[in-house]
Structure 1
Amino acid sequence: MAKVRYPAVAGSFYPSGQALIGMLEEFLGDLGEEGSERRITAGVAPHAGYVFSGYTASRIYKAIFEDGLPETFVILGPNHTGMGSPIAVYPSGKWRTPLGDVDVDSEMARAISRLSGIADLDETAHTYEHSIEVQLPFIQYLAKKAGKDVKIVPITLGIQDEEVAEDLGKAIFEAGGELGRDVVVIASTDFMHYGPMYGYIPFRARADELPHRIKEWDFRVIRRILDFDVRGMFRELKEMNHTMCGPGGVGTAIVYSRLAGAVEAELLHYTTSFEVSRSTDAVVGYASIVMRK
Structure 2
Amino acid sequence: MIRYPTVAGSFYPSDEALIEMLEEFFKDLGEEGSKRRITAGVAPHAGYVFSGYTASRTYKAIFEDGLPETFVILGPNHTGLGSPIAVYPEGEWLTPLGSIEVDAEMAKAIAKLSGIADLDELAHKYEHSIEVQVPFIQYLSELAGKDVRIVPITLGIQDEDVSKALGKAIFEASEELGRDVVVIASTDFMHYGPAYGYVPFRARADELPHRIKEWDFRLIRRVLDFDVDGLFRELREMRHTMCGPGAVGTAIVYSRLAGALETELLHYTTSFEVSRSTEAIVGYASIVMRK
CA distance in 2, matches of 1:162, 1:8: 30
1:239 equivalent in alignment to 2:237: yes
Give the TM-score taking structure 1 as reference length. Answer: 0.99
Distance 2:286 2:237 in 1: 23
In structure 2, the partner of 1:156 is 154
- How many correspondences in the alignment? 291
Give 1:60-99 correspondences, 5 Å limit: 60-99=58-97
Q: Which amino acid aligns with 2:176?
A: E
Give the Cα separation in 2 of the matches to 1:205 and 1:61. 34
2:6 aligned with 1:11, yes or no?
A: no
How far apart, CA to CA, are the structure 1 residues paired with 2:258 and 2:248? 15
Aligned AA for 1:204? R
Matched, 1:201 2:199: yes
Which of 176, 179, 188 aligns to 2:177? It is: 179
* Map of 2:166 onto structure 1: 168
4+ runs of 1 displaced by more than 4 Å? Answer: none
Match of 2:26 in 1: 28
Unaligned runs of 5+ in 1: none
> C-alpha displacement at 1:231, in angstroms?
0.3
| Structure 2 counterpart SS, 1:215 | helix
Task: Tell me the distance in 2 between the aligned counterparts of 1:209 and 1:196.
Answer: 17
SS at match of 1:42: strand
Using the alignment, how far apart are the partners of 2:79 and 2:112 within structure 1?
Answer: 25
Deviation at 1:86, TM superposition (A): 0.1
Equivalent residue for 1:115?
113
Q: Deviations over 1:4-24 (max 9, x none)?
A: 100000000000000000000
2:189 corresponds to: 191
Structure 1 partner of 2:210: 212
- TM-superposed deviation, 1:185: 0.1
Gaps spanning 5+ residues in structure 2: where? none
- Whether 2:254 is the aligned partner of 1:259: answer no
C-alpha distance in 2, partners of 1:257/1:52?
28
Q: Tell me, what secondary structure is at the counterpart of 1:131? A: helix
> 1:117 Cα shift?
1.5
Which runs of structure 2 are paired with 1:127-138 in the superposition (5 Å)? Answer: 127-138=125-136
Q: What's the TM-score once normalised by structure 2's chain length?
A: 1.00
Query: In 2, distance between residues paired with 1:245 and 1:60?
Result: 18
Q: Structure 1: which amino acid aligns with 2:4?
A: Y
Give RMSD over aligned pairs: 0.3
- Name the amino acid aligned to 1:88: A
Deviation at 1:148, TM superposition (A): 0.3
Aligned-partner Cα distance in 2 for 1:137–1:120: 25
